[in-house]
Structure 1
């Protein structure tokens, strides 16, 4: 398994999820190696034996010189209140249970414990409760003007600081449209028919460490497959994409990253009864759908309908809506496919010129010991 670090050189507009990343990689193959190599690459996916599969991109931060990846949290449903708890404790747990649902990311060590079935909602809730008590004590000491308790509460526990994920920041940037010939703001009729400047807004996404805004943060995705193809095909394409960009508004300087590929491993459980998905996933056939439906009561998943634009050599077009299982979905041990992946390549549509448009529906799966009833 490899990890691809995405070091941001600008903000980005389009979330680099597995479908977007894979489609951009296909464009890179076409530009660098030609249509023949791209057709060979696609055929392996169509036949169910891809050169490699990829996850969606998730955040990381640099802490004490080490890059720490964060993964989706599956444990976001608050546990039931213990009837033996005091009223005050039960009330705290209830309030903190809402915060539990907002814990979107787990550190690698927490994620591995979750994979082994050794981390539960109760464990996360206890951590929240501990920090709640420390924050309350800090506030009370400030009211007493204790000189050792100044400013807002900041966690001091090294483990808490290490496991705190970076935060996403979506900035809305205001732009105007320029008349390149005259060198001024372009004036066009507005809704009332009056000439006016063309102001518009565009989002710009960054990540930052809440405890150190100068620390390095960024994204990463995982790759599993042929080391030879990763080195000879994927690596050159990623070097190309450093100049080409990913997603929307590349011509405005958005979506540019520096890529670094390294060996990576996750301590998966040897004894597992489920799979967790780290990409957008489309089941291979009806049999896989039946397996998922039969386990749906005990294994949480999220469906997502994607409607987006596609691009071809002749310009942009609307893709047909496609239904995916989202990242963080839990499945039974699905039959078929290699150890790491399940799923298929989905033909989204065929253009008037005969060109077929595909979506990557191969799931990047990890073994999971799921202990829910």
Structure 2
């Protein structure tokens, strides 16, 4: 499944863990008899579906131009012009055509940078050429109040969202159990009515959406690598398989529940990290917090590919 989100107001950033939390909340409201069984399957390493993080998509009339995370690679960039490298560091997402060429080996990162003037960067997006469409997004950081019931004081925290113009988000769903296709669609309809994020009461986080039925990515016999399109919390078995052909960046998060409890720090591999391919699923979900434990989604969304290893 491919789900397109068209924000109608300021909209939050949605990594796979945040998206999973929203979908799970909606499913628990719509299918209360199903949610416990579903979460147990995730906890036992038998996920009924996998989701990616959300990534940008430009709406150009009937055309949808998708962007994927910049790959974390082992390229030798020592001879690349410093001005080019400085500009390339601003890139977070790469147009689908370029992304596919990079993972297939038809284009190397070094070749891309040696011919960087042939490409076009707008904001944090890198594409093959400048598009004839006015698009953009702007970041909004808004102050909010919260009462810490442990110390009975009011604290200020900040929420982040983006305003979009001819630009939205998309995410991928890999269905192991086909019946969850309709369940996720129902969850999206529920969230459409309610909104994403904490500021739905003030009109933020509202959206429209569209779903395309696409074939699940096949695990071909020759695919010896994968890139994760989600935040990936590895198991001990996953960590044992990391070797010199693994390229990754580590992120972390520390949540806070409604009571004010600060949950333990959770570490994960960021989207765009690359690893050897050796099984069907990677990662797991973990629980953090003692008072009201939260479920942190950490399954990799593996996009598999073949790479010649020398």
TM-score by length of 1: 0.69
- 2:206 is the counterpart of 1:206: no
- Find the aligned partners of 1:350 and 1:163 in 2 and give their Cα distance: 52
Task: Select 2:252's aligned residue among 284, 305, 309.
Answer: 305
**Unmatched segments (≥5 aa) in structure 1:** 82-89, 133-157, 177-198, 209-215
Q: How does 1:68-87 map to 2 (within 5 A)?
A: 68-74=65-71, 79-81=77-79
Deviation by residue 1:39-92 (Cα, 9 ceiling, x = unmatched): 0110111121122110001100012421111001116767232xxxxxxxx7xx
Paired residues of 1:10 and 1:256 also in contact (CA < 8 A): yes
Match of 2:31 in 1: 33
Paired residues of 2:14 and 2:53 also in contact (CA < 8 A): yes
Q: How does 1:1-373 map to 2 (within 5 A)?
A: 2-13=1-12, 15-34=13-32, 36-74=33-71, 79-81=77-79, 93-130=81-118, 159-162=128-131, 167-172=136-141, 203-208=160-165, 216-225=166-175, 226-231=177-182, 233-264=183-214, 270=220, 271-284=222-235, 286-292=236-242, 295=243, 297-310=244-257, 317-335=261-279, 338=280, 341-351=281-291, 356-370=293-307
Paired residues of 2:102 and 2:109 also in contact (CA < 8 A): no
- Find the aligned partners of 1:281 and 1:63 in 2 and give their Cα distance: 32
- Find the aligned partners of 2:132 and 2:85 in 1 and give their Cα distance: 19
- Find the aligned partners of 1:325 and 1:164 in 2 and give their Cα distance: 34
Match of 1:141 in 2: none
Paired residues of 1:343 and 1:363 also in contact (CA < 8 A): yes
CA change 1:254–1:302 in 2 (3 A) is same
Q: Give the length in aligned residue pairs.
A: 291
TM-fit CA distance, 1:269? 9.0
- Find the aligned partners of 1:330 and 1:112 in 2 and give their Cα distance: 14
Looking at secondary structure, tell me which structure has more helix per residue. 1
TM-fit CA distance, 1:38? 1.1
SS in 2 for 1:161: coil
Deviation by residue 1:118-173 (Cα, 9 ceiling, x = unmatched): 221233224423469xxxxxxxxxxxxxxxxxxxxxxxxx9512599965421346
Paired residues of 2:174 and 2:216 also in contact (CA < 8 A): no
CA change 1:79–1:166 in 2 (3 A) is farther
TM-fit CA distance, 1:278? 0.6
- Find the aligned partners of 1:343 and 1:165 in 2 and give their Cα distance: 39
Paired residues of 1:6 and 1:260 also in contact (CA < 8 A): yes
TM-score by length of 2: 0.82
- Find the aligned partners of 2:304 and 2:18 in 1 and give their Cα distance: 25
